[in-house]
Amino acid sequence: MTFPPHLLDRARALAVPGRRRILGLAGAPGAGKSTLARHLVTALDGLAVLVPMDGFHLAQSELLRLGLAHRKGAPATFDAAGYAALLARLRTPEPDTTVYAPAFDRGLEEPVAGSIPVGPAVPLVVTEGNYLLHDEGQWARVRPLVDEIWFLELDERTRVRRLVDRHVSFGKERPYAERWVRESDEVNARLIGLGRDRADLVVTAS
């Protein structure tokens, strides 16, 4: 997957030592958010840290309790208020205080607390996820906390194919993966697309 080369320069302009900024990457499942986020953080070489929204997935046991296991990945299956609270804390780092963010283990399909250390001197936090531009309920708190949000787009056939392949790579049978993408991921993708016009930049990947 390739992205326009100017994106790194734009991210670098945000990573100014002495001031904390947050860059968000939004888009449908399979659009390349994680790939671009990792590329930027690696290229910025110590000036940025990645804090994915996926760390705020509700645990599988809680999804089962709520009757939402079949909709995993929908807005209601995340702790949106917790994510917003973390972003607020990351915006105003305290001296000598490391903030620990959760990650999401795709092998376990579970969030893992305390996985990502964010030191106070790191100037840029890159966060990526589906619902950074969603404006319902607690999700509406996210947009004002992020300095820039880029919306990633990828040719739909390519995106869906990559998404199915990703599910298969993490242990799902292909027929199940195809059905999950069709009945869950793509339902979410349509909702995510409604936030496109609220982004600061639309990025077309290839």
Class of domain 6-204: alpha beta
Q: Where are the domains of the chain?
A: 6-204
pLDDT given at position 57: 96
Regions of the chain where pLDDT drops below 70:
1
Determine contact, residues 53/131, Cβ cutoff 8 Å. Answer: yes
Determine contact, residues 90/100, Cβ cutoff 8 Å. Answer: no
pLDDT given at position 171: 83
Give one DSSP letter per residue of 116-143, joined into a string.
Answer: EEE-TT--EEEEE-TTTT--SGGGGGTG
pLDDT, tens only, 51-97: 999 999 999 999 999 999 989 999 999 999 999 999 999 999 999 99
